[in-house]
Chains A and B, each alone.
Chain A
Amino acid sequence: MSRGRGRDTQEGRARGAAVADAEPRPGTSGAPRGAGRSGAEHDGPALVAEGLRKTYQLGPQTIAAVDGVSLTLARGEFVALVGPSGSGKTSILAMLAGLLRPTEGHVRIAGEELGELPDRRLAAFRRRNIGFTFQQNNLVPYLTVFENVTLMLSLNGRFDAAGARRARELLDRLGLGDRLRSLPSQLSGGQQQRVAIARALIHQPAVVLADEPTASLDTERAHQVVDTFADLIHHDRRAGIMVTHDLRMCRVVDRVIVLRDGAVERTLEDPDAIARFADGALA
């Protein structure tokens, strides 16, 4: 199984609240910016988040759900965000996806500053540059497997013969080549997650975000799904972030960011350390 360990891992490492590197390379800053630009055209880090902070007002109290989190992801890098409930995993994911505006800090994906985009362009940016899998309501129940996957192409006005061929190939690789016409209700939980993975990747986004992709799966299927996910992220050189509460799923990622109380508690990059963490030895 490919885990992408042989590639350059100097680019894009989270260092707690500090940003290691990964400013956009010269030449990209002058390129035209816009929601329509695909992440594949960008040479710098796939994702840069700096000083993310999200606070909520609870009566007289100000609660910080996320408190000064920074991270940088290179293309082809797969990162796990782990931590107990309330540690800020989902809030960070929401801010990285442009679904939640940070109170402070900024997010840049494929060279585009998300904070500068109005809501309407943000939606257009998401459908072009971000792939999603969710814990629930992952698929459109009345669309077939093939239609769910190509929905991203249709949303982007890019559904054509080549896109259809790519969708079939992707579903073949995910072992769903014979289920193209099935409805989500006719699939197992693991199959549904694999369809969601195909949908997240079909439009070749800069970043793929997965929220608890294995939450509703048994151990064997969970490992299958995460292995497939990691393979595709590494193979297609997409930046992937997976939020999970299941530490065992971390064995396939390149980096583990452990969160506590909205801040980065520690970051694991060493493959051995990650393996031991996944086995529960370092948890």
Chain B
Amino acid sequence: MAAGVCSRGGARPRPGGAVNGRLAVALAIKEIVRNKGRFASIAAIIALITTLVLFLSGLGEGLALGNRQYVSGLDADLLVYQDTADLQIAASQFDRSSVASVRRVDGVADVGAIAFASTVVEPSSRRSAGADAAGLRVSLIGVEPGRPGDPRVLQGPGFTSASGNEVVLGRQAALRSGLKVGDVLTLRSTQGAVDESYDLRVVGITGGQQYQIAPAVLVPLITFERVKPKANLQDDPRRLLFNVVAVKGVPGLARDALAARIEGQVRGVRAVDLTTAYQNIPGYTAQQSTLNTQSGFTLIIGILVVGGFFQIQTLQKLGQIGMLKAIGASNALVASETVLQIVLINLAGVLAGTLGTAALAATFPATVPIVFQLGNVATALVGLLVIGPLGGLVALRAALRVEPLRALGLGR
């Protein structure tokens, strides 16, 4: 038996909200189902916009994480720089006495000196499939074992001494090198004009650790001083130099207050929280601004494109809408149907785009710095779910402005 547009039991007329709502749903769904091609093409455009937005968001987060992951994940409240370094880690240098001065400040619970360099893991120590012969560029980070700056290991015993030939790998370094706990890693490091190789035993693997878009490998500070690339071999190898000091405050003490105390009591230092620290990593803020601008523009373009599609569709239906109004369909019914269609198609497009992005991302190699963080993805998805209705507002206005007179070839 053929079914009506909106079946309901009972014969008593009950115009208004309930009937209008059910009829709007029925009309919206029937139009979508019986014009699959047209609506699928709109949903496909929305899916592509979704993919673009999610990839930009993932790329932004991936690059951001690649720059800041080690610093933002520090088990510390503050990072102390040499005050003339303008919060640039590479430009900041301390010696032992400065670290001791910071440690003596009232309210400081613990400190850890940290040093950074860039080096290469020799291909011979890489076991991952497809590893090339060029070596894996890594951020070499010297830390004081057991102090702030030394991350918690997830596998392996961790450092057993403050000066051993030991290395802890960040998750990305472990993945990309194929090394496991107990393996020997060979670091290639330029000493003066000569490349030297250093064998280090892998004693632990931590969570994600990256710095300046390179996977991190961590060594004890004394080992760091020995294996780090050096331009001048005349330097006294016993004179340890660090870039920054990670500071952990006593519980309950505000970071600002602690920073003020350190800056007040130790000459020539500047103490900032971790957010300020990673925002000052060279290129970080500019990179994020660029990607955020791209995401913003993509969303705006998305609104215009989706709005344009719905507008064209509504313009094609003006005669039909006029006819519906002439036979007594209310503006509420027309508006409900229009909005419902926009929401449904947008939802389908965003869902398809999200699934497509997930499927596509699964095929990417680990070298692609793309990270889908729940909060960022949720924000992007909410934005995408809003763009459809926003874009459709123009179409809705056009639908509401149609005069029933149009059915008779009069009116607009």
Contacts and interface: CB of A to CB of B under 8 A. Distances in A.
B4 interface: yes
Interface stretch (A23-31, A135-143, A263-271): A135-143
A137 B5 contact: no
B11 A158 contact: yes
A9 to B, nearest CB: 28
Task: Determine chain B's interface SS by DSSP, over half rule.
Answer: loop
Given A97-B326, A132-B407, A181-B2, A154 B19 contact: yes
Interface in B313-332: 319-320, 322-330
Nearest to B15: A157
A211 B328 CA distance: 16
Interface in A111-155: 120, 123-128, 130, 132, 134-138, 140-144, 146-147, 150-155
B13 A99 contact: no
B408 A158 contact: no
A142 B410 contact: no
A146 B26 CA distance: 14
B360 interface: no
Nearest to B29: A142
Contacts of A36: 13, 15
Contacts of B410: 90-91, 94, 99-100
B127 interface: no
Given A99-B404, A100-B405, A127-B329, A157 B5 contact: no
Contact of B407 (A137, A151, A183): A137
Contacts of A128: 328
B256 interface: no
Contact of B4 (A127, A132, A150): A150
Given A159-B8, A183-B34, A134 B2 contact: no
A220 B327 CA distance: 28
Interface of A: 36, 90-91, 93-94, 97, 99-100, 120, 123-128, 130, 132, 134-138, 140-144, 146-147, 150-160, 162-164, 167-168, 180-181, 183, 199, 211
B408 A99 contact: yes
A131 B31 CA distance: 23
Contact of B6 (A126, A141, A159): A159
A140 B337 CA distance: 13
7 contacts: A127-B327, A135-B408, A150-B4, A154-B6, A155-B19, A159-B4, A164-B1
Given A126-B328, A164-B4, A137 B408 contact: no
Nearest to A151: B5
Contact of B326 (A120, A134, A151, A162): A134
A176 to B, nearest CB: 11
B7 A157 contact: no
A157 B14 contact: yes
Interface in B296-326: 319-320, 322-326
A160 B30 CA distance: 19
Contacts of B30: 142-143, 147
Nearest to B6: A154
A154 B409 contact: no
Contact of A160 (B8, B16, B330, B409): B8
B9 interface: yes
Nearest to A167: B4
B23 interface: yes
B250 to A, nearest CB: 69
Given A132-B407, A157-B13, A183-B34, A123 B325 contact: yes
Chain A CB count within 10 A is highest, among B16, B330, B404, for: B404
A126 B326 contact: yes
Chain B CB count within 10 A is highest, among A36, A99, A146, for: A99
Contacts of A158: 11, 13
A32 to B, nearest CB: 15
Interface in B26-75: 26-27, 30-31, 34-35
Contacts of A91: 410
B367 to A, nearest CB: 49
A94 B405 contact: yes
Contact of B409 (A120, A135, A151): A135
Contacts of A162: 11
A132 B326 contact: yes
B13 A134 contact: no
Contacts of B16: 157
Contacts of B251: none
Contacts of B13: 36, 156-158
B23 A137 contact: no
A108 B215 CA distance: 83
A93 B328 contact: no
A197 to B, nearest CB: 13
Contacts of B8: 157, 159-160
B10 interface: yes
B34 A163 contact: no
Contact of A153 (B4, B326, B404): B4
Contacts of B12: 157
Chain B CB count within 10 A is highest, among A97, A152, A168, A199, for: A97
Contacts of A181: 2
Contacts of A123: 325, 328-330, 404
Contacts of A159: 4-8
A144 B330 CA distance: 21
Contacts of A157: 8, 12-16, 19
Interface string B100-140: 00000000000000000000000000000000000000000
| 8 nearest A-B pairs in the assembled complex, by CB-CB distance | A127-B328, A137-B319, A146-B2, A150-B4, A157-B19, A142-B34, A180-B2, A126-B328
